[in-house]
Amino acid sequence: MDWIFIFGLVIVCLMLWQRLGVMERRLDSLEEFISSRSLSASPPPPPPPVEPVRVIPTTRTVPRTAPVRKAEPEAEPVPETEVIPEPVAKAHPATQAAIASAPLPPSKPPAPPQPAPEPEPEPEPEPEPARSFDFEDIFGRRLPIWAGGIALAVGGIFLVRYSIEAGLLGPKVRVALSFIFGLVLLGLAEVAYRWPDRVRDERVRQALAGAGIATLYAAFYLAGAMYGLIGPAAAFAGLALVTALALGLAFRFGLPTAVLGLIGGFATPVMVASEEANVPILAFYLALLTAGLALTARRLGHGWLGLAALGGGFVWGLLMLLGQPVDLSERMAVGLYLVALGAAIPLLVERESAVPVARIFAGAVAALQLAALVTLAGFDLLTWGLYLLLAAALAILSWRNTDMQPANLLVLALGVILLVAWSDPSVADFVIVTAALTGIGLGLPLAMVWRQRGDFMHILQLSLGAVGLGMASWWQFGSADNSMAILGLAAGLAALAAIAAAGAWRAWPGETAVNRLVALPVAASALLAFGATHVIIPDWAEVIGAALVTLALAELVRRNRRRSLAAVMWSGAIVVLAALATTGGFGNEVALAFGQSGFEHDTPRALVRWGVAALPFLAFAHVEWQPQGRRCAETVLGLVGYVFAAQIIPADALPFALALAAIAAVWFLAERSGAWLTLLSLGVLWALAPATEWTIAGLAALGGEPMLHSALPSLDEAARKLLPLAVAAGFACWRCTAREKPRLAIGLGVVAGVAEGIMLHIAFKQAFHLTSDAAFVTLGMGERTVWQALLIGSGAAVLHWRPDLRWPALALLAAGLLHFLLFTFTLHNPLWSEQAVGPLPIANWLLPAYAVAGLGVWRVFRNRESILHAKLRRAGDAAMMLLIAFYALSELRHAFAGTLLISTPMTQSEDLLRSLTGIVLALGFLWWGSRTGQRSWRVGSLVLMLLAVAKVFLVDAAGLEGLLRVASFVALGASLIAIGMVYARQLSARAHTE
C-alpha cells in the first residue's frame, strides 16, 4: 500500500506542476506589463528630487508580500499617468501598512507650477512570450520543491517500514511516530502559510501539507490493517477524519490537498475492508465524501474535481450493486446513496449553466444503477419508491432547468422497461407504481405544456411516455384475442389517453412551436383509445371502437388542416381496416362480394361491421383537402360500401347494382371521381371472367382454330357481367366528354367499347350457333361476312350521321377491316381454305364479303385531306384494287369449282381466263384512273399488266398448247397496244396543258 501513496503523489505533483507553471508564466507577464506601464507613464524628472519615486519598489514587492491567490485579482488596476502613493498603496493591505510606517521626508517649499507635459501615447502591452524549455527554470526552481514534498512523504512511509523491519521500536511507538511525523508536516505547512514573507513560494506549504496528509493516511492504514492496533471501525473513522481534514485544508493550501483527499477518501473503504461490511455506514460515508469533494471543487473553481468525485461515487455504487445487497437496510442505503448522487450532489458540482452536463450525466447513471437495484430486489415497493424518488427529484430539477429534460425522459423510459420486465406483478402493486410513475413522468411535461413553457422534449415525453406506460400495462394484463373484458385495464388506458389528449388540447391554439407538434400527443391519445376499446369490445365489433376514434381524428383534421394530423388520421384508417380484416367473419363477408355463397353467415353483424367501417372514409372524403388523399378516401369508401351491399344483394344482381351506383355517382357526384371510378373498376372485375374466356377463344382463332359456340361464355353470363359495365362506362364517358375531360373520356370509351363488343360478339355467335368443324365449313364464311358487315356498316353509319363521333366510327371500321384481313382474307380465304361460299354464281358470300371490305376501305379513305396523308391514300387505292382482283379471281374459281373453291383442280381454260381477267382488270383500272385523274389507279393498271405479261410469257407459254396459247398471246398483244395508246394520249394531254 505504501507504493500506492507514492504513485498517487507523483501523479498529483505532475498535474500540479503543469497548472502552476501556467500560473507563474501569467504572473511574470503581468509583472512585466505593470512595470512597463509604470515606467512609460512617469513624467521626466524635474530639477528638484521627486520623493514618490521611491515607492516604486514597493509596488514590485506586492507579489512577494501576500499570498498569490489574494493578490492576483488586485494587481489588475493600471496606475494613472502620475505615480503617487495612493494608487500604489491599493495593491495590497500589507503595502499600505509599509508605506504608513515609513518616516515622512522634511517639508520643502512648493515648487513653482510647471506646465503639464503633453500626454504620450500609451504603449501597447507586449504579447505573452511563447513557452520555451528552460532547463534551469524547470530542474532548478520548480521540480525541487515538489520533489522535496514527495521525498518527505516517502520518507515518512519508509520511516514506518524501517521501524518494522529493524525492530527498533514497538508497533505502537512506530505508529505513533508516523502520526507525529504527519502532524509535524502539517504544522510546517501552517508555518509556511503564516509567514509568507519568509517562505514566498506557496508550493512549499502545499508540498508539506500533501506529505502530511499522505503520512496520516499511511499511519491509520498500518495501525488498522497491518498491526491490528485498532479495529476496522476505528481505522475507518480515522481515515474518514483524515479525508475530512484534507478537504478542510484544501481551502487553505489549494488543489493538491483536495486531490489527495479525493484519492484517499475513495480508497479508505478498500484499505479497511472486512469480511462483514456495513453497507449503510459505507453508503453514508461515500455520500458525505462525494458531497464534500463536490463542494470543495466548487469553492476552488475546479469543475473537473467535482466530476471526478461523482465518477468515484458511481464506481462505488456499481461495486455495492455487484455485492448484491440483500438486507432491507442495505438496499435502502444504496438506493438513497444513488438518489443523492443523481439529484442532490450534482447541484454542488456546477453552477447554473446553459447545458447542465454534470446533472444530466449523474441523473442518467443514477437511474441506470437504481433500475439495476430494483431488478436485484425483485421489484419490491421499497426499491420502486427509491426509483420514483429519483424520478421526482429529476422532475423538479427539470422544472427549474428544461435542459435537464433528457435525464427525466431517460428515467421514464427505464421505468417503462422495468414495468415490462416485472414478472408476475400483483395488480395492486403494479397500479401503485404505474400511477406514481405516470404522475411524475407525465405530470411534468403536461404542466410545462399547460403553462406554455413546453418544447419538443416535453411533447415527446408526454406522447411516448403515455404510450409506453399503456403498452407496459397491456403487456402485463392484456390479451391479443380479447376473450374477456378487462375494465381496469381499459380505465387505465383511457386515463393515459386523457392525459395525452389534455396536452394536445393545451398545445392546440395558436401558431407556436408546440402547436406544430400537436400531432404527437394526438397520435398517442388515439393509440391509447384504440387499446382501451380493444380490451372491452367483443372481437367481432372491435372495428366499432377503431372507427369512433378515427372519426374523432377526422374532426380534428377538419378544424386544423395540418399534414401531420392528416397522417395520424390515415394511420387511424389503417387501424380500422386492420380491425375489420382480422376480426369477425371477414373471409365469408368478402366471399359474398365475389359472388360466392353456400356457407353460414351472420348478416346483421356483417352489416354493422362494414357500415361502421365506411363512416370514417365518408368523413375523410369531406375533410381531406389534398386531392390524392380525397381520391384515396373515395376509393376505399367505394370498396367498403360495395362489400356492405354484397351482404344483402344476390350475387347475380351485384353487377347491375354496381352499374346503377356508378351511374348515380357520375350524375350526382361527378367531382368525386375516386368513388365512381372504383365502382366501375369493380364492374371490370366482374367482367373479367367472360372477357377472359372470350379472349382465350379469340387467341386460338388467331392460330387458325374455329371459334365455336361451345368455346364462348353463355349469353346469360355475358349479359349479367358485361352489359352493366358497358352501360355504366358509356354513361361515364358521355359525362366526362360533357365536362371536358378528354383523357378520362377516351379511357372510359375504350372500356365501354370493349365490353360492348365482346358481349355483342357472344350474342352474334348465338345466331349461327356453330358447334362443329363441319358447321364452320358450311356457315363460317357467312358468319364472318355478316359480322364484318355489322362492324363496317355501323362505323360508316356513325361517320355519316354523326361526324363528331369520328374516332368511334373509325374504330368500328378498323375493327371490321382487321377482322376481314385476318380471318376472311388470310386464315380462311376460300381460295386456299375449306370454306363454302354458296352454289350460285355472283349471288354467293364472295360478293358481300369483298363488297363490305371495299365499303370499309372506301369509307376510311373518302375524306382524304383531313383523315390520312397522301401516301396512305395511295395505300388505300392499292387495297381497293387488290380486293377487286381477288374477288374477280374468286368468282372465276367459283365458276369452275362451285361452293368449295378448292374442291377441284384448275384447268388450262381457267388458267387462260385468269390471264385474261388480269388484262381486263388492268384496262379497267387504267380507264378509272384516266377518268378520275388518279395516278395511283393508272400505276396499279401497269403493275397488274406487268404481272399478266409475266404470267403469259412464263406460265402460259409453257403450259398452254395450240389455239389457247395463240389466244393468250393475241389478247396480251392487243391489250398492250391499247394501254400504250391510252397512255400516249394521257401524256400528250398533260404536256399540252402544261
pLDDT digits (tens, 9 = 90+) for 39-97: 555 455 555 444 444 444 433 433 333 343 433 444 444 444 343 344 333 444 333 43
Q: Which of 416, 345, 336 is nearest to 370 (CA)?
A: 336
- Please tell me the distance from the alpha carbon of residue 485 to that of residue 570, in angstroms, as a whole number: 28
Grid coordinates of 352: 447554473
- Residue 962 binned pLDDT confidence (cut-offs 50, 70, 90): low
Question: What are the CA-CA distances from residue 505 to residues 314, 451, 515, 535, 839 (Å)?
Answer: 41, 13, 10, 26, 91
Q: Which of 791, 846, 844, 855 is nearest to 819 (CA)?
A: 791
| Residue listed under C-alpha cell 372470350 | 694
- Please tell me the distance from the alpha carbon of residue 318 to that of residue 324, in angstroms, as a whole number: 10
Q: Is 721 left (phi over 0), alpha (psi -120 to 50) or beta?
A: alpha
- Residue 7 binned pLDDT confidence (cut-offs 50, 70, 90): very low
What beta strand segments (E) does 117-260 contain? none
- Please tell me the distance from the alpha carbon of residue 77 to that of residue 406, in angstroms, as a whole number: 45
CA angle 441/445/450 to nearest 5° reads 140
User: How confident is the model over 222-226, as a mean pLDDT?
Assistant: 61
Instruction: Name the least confident of 315-324, 575-584, 685-694.
Output: 315-324
Q: Which of 394, 288, 289, 287 is nearest to 338 (CA)?
A: 287
Q: Which residues of 5-41 are buried (b: 16+ CB within 10 A; e: fewer)?
A: bbebbeebbeebbeebeeebeeeeebeeebeeebeeb
Domain residue extents for the chain:
1-41+135-274, 277-425, 442-536, 772-880, 906-994
Share of the chain above pLDDT 70, in %: 66
User: How confident is the model over 898-906, as a mean pLDDT?
Assistant: 88
User: Per-residue pLDDT tens for 471-480?
Assistant: 999 998 887 6
Question: What are the CA-CA distances from residue 293 to residues 240, 250, 356 (Å)?
Answer: 13, 10, 18
- Please tell me the distance from the alpha carbon of residue 359 to that of residue 341, in angstroms, as a whole number: 9
At 833, the amino acid letter reads: S
* Alpha helices by DSSP H, 451-518: 456-477, 487-507
Dihedral (Cα; 405, 407, 408, 412), 10-degree rounding: 140
Q: What is the DSSP string of 717-756?
A: HHHHHTHHHHHHHHHHHHHHHHTT-HHHHHHHHHHHHHHH
pLDDT at 311: 79
Q: Coil, strand or helix: which one is 680?
A: helix
pLDDT at 170: 67
User: Per-residue pLDDT tens for 111-134?
Assistant: 444 544 444 444 444 444 444 445
The answer to whether residues 412 and 457 touch, using CB atoms and an 8 Å cutoff, is no
- Please tell me the distance from the alpha carbon of residue 403 to that of residue 397, in angstroms, as a whole number: 9
Residues 6+ positions from 479 with CB-CB distance below 8 Å: 486, 535
Instruction: Name the least confident of 343-357, 615-629, 938-952.
Output: 343-357
The length of the chain in residues reads 994
Identify the residue with better confidence: 959 or 700.
700
Beta bridge partners of 836: 900
- Please tell me the distance from the alpha carbon of residue 983 to that of residue 200, in angstroms, as a whole number: 138
Identify the residue with better confidence: 598 or 524.
524
% helix, strand, coil for the chain, step of 5 = 80, 0, 20
Residues 6+ positions from 972 with CB-CB distance below 8 Å: 915, 919, 948, 949, 952
User: Per-residue pLDDT tens for 315-324?
Assistant: 888 887 887 7
- Residue 157 binned pLDDT confidence (cut-offs 50, 70, 90): low
Grid coordinates of 685: 372485375
At 555, the amino acid letter reads: E
pLDDT at 60: 40
pLDDT at 602: 84
pLDDT at 74: 41
pLDDT at 511: 63
pLDDT at 153: 57
Q: Which of 837, 827, 949, 926 is nearest to 890 (CA)?
A: 837
Output Rg (C-alpha) for the chain, integer angstroms. Answer: 55
pLDDT at 83: 39
- Residue 820 binned pLDDT confidence (cut-offs 50, 70, 90): very high
User: Per-residue pLDDT tens for 927-961?
Assistant: 888 788 787 888 888 788 778 777 766 666 555 56
Burial class (CB in 10 A: 0-12, 13-18, 19+), 795: buried
Residues 6+ positions from 844 with CB-CB distance below 8 Å: 837, 838, 894, 899
- Please tell me the distance from the alpha carbon of residue 636 to that of residue 674, in angstroms, as a whole number: 9
User: How confident is the model over 560-578, as a mean pLDDT?
Assistant: 91
Q: Is the model's pLDDT at 136 over the cut of 70?
A: no
Q: Which of 799, 781, 880, 789 is nearest to 837 (CA)?
A: 781
Identify the residue with better confidence: 532 or 359.
532
- Please tell me the distance from the alpha carbon of residue 718 to that of residue 762, in angstroms, as a whole number: 7
pLDDT at 107: 42
User: How confident is the model over 426-435, as a mean pLDDT?
Assistant: 92
- Please tell me the distance from the alpha carbon of residue 572 to that of residue 578, in angstroms, as a whole number: 10
User: Per-residue pLDDT tens for 17-42?
Assistant: 566 666 767 777 777 777 766 555 54
Identify the residue with better confidence: 934 or 828.
828
**Phi, psi angles (nearest 5°) of residue 511:** -115, 55
Residues 6+ positions from 635 with CB-CB distance below 8 Å: 674, 675, 677, 678
The answer to whether residues 930 and 982 touch, using CB atoms and an 8 Å cutoff, is yes
The answer to whether residues 20 and 203 touch, using CB atoms and an 8 Å cutoff, is yes
How many Cβ atoms from other residues are within 10 Å of residue 267's Cβ? 19
